[in-house]
Amino acid sequence: MKFEGSHILSVSQFNRDAISRILEVSSLMAPYAMRKKRCHVLEGAILNNLFFEPSTRTRVSFGAAFNLLGGSVRETVGQENSSLSKGESLFDTARVISGYSDVIAMRHPTMHSVEEFSKGSSVPVINGGDGANEHPTQALLDLFTIQSEMAPHNKTLDGLNIVLMGDLKHGRTVHSLSKLLSLYKNMKVTMISPDALKMPDSIISSLTNAGHEVVITDKIEHNLSCDIIYQTRIQQERFASKDEANLYRGHFSLNKEVYQQFCQEHTVIMHPLPRDSRPEANELDSDLNDLDNLAIFRQAQNGVLVRMALFALTLGVENKLSQFEKPVTWYTNK
SS3 298: helix
Q: How far apart are CA 253 and CA 110, in angstroms?
A: 29
Question: What are 35-93's pLDDT values in tens digits?
Answer: 999 999 999 999 999 998 888 889 999 999 999 999 999 998 876 666 676 778 999 99
SS3 122: coil
Question: What are 205-248's pLDDT values in tens digits?
Answer: 999 999 999 999 999 999 999 999 999 877 655 555 666 655 55
pLDDT > 60? residue 298: yes
Question: What are 121-179's pLDDT values in tens digits?
Answer: 999 999 999 987 888 999 999 999 999 999 999 999 999 999 999 889 888 889 889 99
CA 333, 307, 44 angle in degrees (round to 5)? 85
- In degrees to the nearest 10, what's the CA dihedral of 125, 128, 133, 139? 110
SS3 68: helix
Position 227: which residue type?
D
The confidence score (pLDDT) of residue 97 equals 96
Q: How far apart are CA 180 and CA 262, in angstroms?
A: 27
Point out the least confidently predicted range of 3-7, 137-141, 162-166, 275-279. 275-279
Interhelix angle 57-68/296-314, rounded to 10 degrees, is 50
**Predicted model pTM:** 0.92
* Long-range contacts, 24-30 (Cβ 8 Å, 24+): 25/309, 25/312, 25/313, 25/318, 26/140, 26/144, 26/302, 26/305, 26/306, 26/308, 26/309, 27/305, 28/309, 28/318, 28/321, 29/68, 29/304, 29/305, 29/308, 29/309, 29/312, 30/305
The count of other CB atoms within 10 Å of the CB of residue 95 is 15
